[in-house]
Amino acid sequence: MCPPPTAVIFDLDGTLVQTREASWKVFEPIGRRHRLGIDAAEDFYQLFAGNFFRSLREACTGPEQADAVTADFLAALDAHYEPTMVPGLIDVVKAMVPFSRLAVLSSNTTTVLRRVLRRNRLEYCFAHVFGGDVEPDKTAGIRRFLADAAVGSGRMCQAYYDEPAAGADDEPVAVADPRTVVLITDTVGDVDAAVAAGIRAVGVAWGMHTEEQLLAAGAEFVAIWPQELLAHLYGRAEPDCSCPVPTAAPPSQPTVAERQAEAAGRRRERRLRTNARAVAVPAVGAVADVSSAVDPLLLRAITATTRTGPTSSEHPEPRRGRPAREDHLLATAIAGTMR
C-alpha cells in the first residue's frame, strides 16, 4: 500500500456527482441541432474514453463546427446542468479534509463547479478548483496544481486557507513525492492524464467506465462504494509499499518538523547578526564622529555607570585596571544603540 496522500484531486462528473443521465440530457439537443450523429446516450459516453473536449471536437466536421458545439455545450451546462452528489461522498470528502489538501479537476465549467459545491456545502473543503474553461487539458491541470507552491495550503471546510504554524519555513513547499498525490476519477481518459502527469490514479465504479476498464488503464484500485476510498487511501502503509508510482524524492527527505527547525535556526542566526552589528563598538577613528552625535548628558550618565567606587559628575574615577579611554569607547557604543 502507498503512503497516505497529502493531496487528493477529485474529478467532478461521474465521481463526485451522478452525471450519466444529467449530462446526456444537456447534450442531446445540442448534438441533434448540430447533426453530430451522436444520437444515443452510450455513444455520448464513449466521448469520455479520452479527453472529452478533444473527443467532442473530433466528432465535428471541422474547426468552426467544433468551436460552435463546444461553446453551446458549455453554455448549456452553465444554464441547465444540475447533477446530484453520489450518496455517501459528502461524508467521505469531509473525512479526508484533516489529512489531505483537496482539489477538483473537471472538464465542466467553473460556474457548474461553484453551483454543485455550494449547494452541497463543500465549497470551502477544496483548496483548488480547475474547470474546463480554465484548463481543458487535465494532464496540464495536474501539472499546474503540482507546480504551484501554494499547494501546501489546504482548507478545513472554512473560508480561510491554512496558515504556516509559528516557526514554520518562510517558503511553502510544493508536493514533491508523486506517491502522495492521487486523482480519483470514473473515466479512462482521466487515468491516462494522471499517469502522464506522474501521479497515482484511483477509480470509482459508479461512473462512466467499468472497474475492468479503469484497472486496465492504470488505476491502482477501483472503489465500489465511496467509503472504500478512505480504507484504501488512509489504511496502514507497509514499509515496502507496492505503489504503482515510483518515488521521485531523494532517499532522505526532511520532515515538516525538521524544515521548521531549520527555518527557525536561520531566523535566529539573522537576528544574532543584526544585533551584533547594532551593538558593535566603533573603531577608534570613528569615536569622535559617534560621540559628537550623542546627547552629552546621556554619554556622561552611561560613563558614570561603568565606574566603581566614589564618583563625581565632574571628575569620575576610572574603573580599576581599565583606562578612561576604554570607558569612553564603551559608553559611546551603548549610547549609540539607544538613539
The distance of Cα 119 from the centroid of its chain, to the nearest Å, equals 24
Question: Which helix or strand (DSSP H or E) is residue 128 part of?
Answer: strand 128-130
Nearest CA among 114, 101, 235 for reference residue 175 = 101
pLDDT digits (tens, 9 = 90+) for 172-218: 555 557 888 999 999 999 999 999 999 999 999 999 899 999 999 99
Mean pLDDT over the full length of the chain: 79
Residue 312 has pLDDT above 70, yes or no: no
Confidence of residue 45 (pLDDT cuts 50, 70, 90): confident
Whether the pTM exceeds 0.75: the reply is no
If one compares 246 and 339, the residue with the highest pLDDT of the two is 246
Residue 67 has pLDDT above 50, yes or no: yes
Q: How far apart are CA 25 and CA 30, in angstroms?
A: 10
Q: How far apart are CA 57 and CA 36, in angstroms?
A: 10
What is the pLDDT, as a whole number, of residue 284? 44
What is the pLDDT, as a whole number, of residue 339? 52
What is the pLDDT, as a whole number, of residue 153? 77
Candidate ranges 259-268, 290-299, 304-313; pick with highest mean pLDDT: 259-268
Q: How far apart are CA 109 and CA 86, in angstroms?
A: 19
pLDDT digits (tens, 9 = 90+) for 100-138: 999 999 988 899 999 999 999 999 999 999 998 898 899
Residue 160 has pLDDT above 70, yes or no: yes
What is the pLDDT, as a whole number, of residue 274? 57
Q: How far apart are CA 333 and CA 306, in angstroms?
A: 12
Candidate ranges 7-11, 130-134, 289-293; pick with highest mean pLDDT: 7-11
